[in-house]
Amino acid sequence: TPSILEYKKQVATRILELEHDIRILKTCQNSTPTVNRLPPEILSQIFLHLFWTMEREYREDHKIFWILSTHVCRHWRAVALGCAALWTNFAFDMHGELIRAILPRSKNLPLSV
């Protein structure tokens, strides 16, 4: 009946609103750690150090474990995505979708294959 469908629609809308509120609250919660108070330039340097460390250790496997740092919190993701130097290395066996994501992030920096 229309009333049941309308009720389900209202519930779905409310769920979306609550999920949005939860994301905002998690962002607030994640903004309190001391590491998130570092200037983006310093955090970018930390990410670059992690990148070069992982690159040396896992070069033969072309693994990009450092990319997991972009999944810690929104702040880290924003800083890492904005650091073009992190996105300049490519491996021949990388998935095409990954390359399409990485290429624009490298901005105008020289690429390394």
Regarding predicted confidence, which is higher, 3 or 1? Answer: 3
Name which of 33, 30, 32 is nearest 71 in CA terms. Answer: 30
Tokens, residue 25: 């609250």
The structural domains of the chain, with segments of one domain joined by +, span 1-30, 39-113
Q: What is the rounded average pLDDT for all residues in the chain?
A: 81
Which residues touch 91 (CB under 8 Å, ≥6 apart)? 62, 113
31-50 average pLDDT score: 84
Q: How confident is the model at residue 14 (pLDDT cuts 50, 70, 90)?
A: very high
| pTM of the shown model | 0.61
Which residues touch 99 (CB under 8 Å, ≥6 apart)? 90
pLDDT, tens digit, 9 for 90 and up, residues 45-65 = 998 888 887 776 665 554 566
Residue 77 and residue 61 in contact, taking contact as beta carbons nearer than 8 Å: no
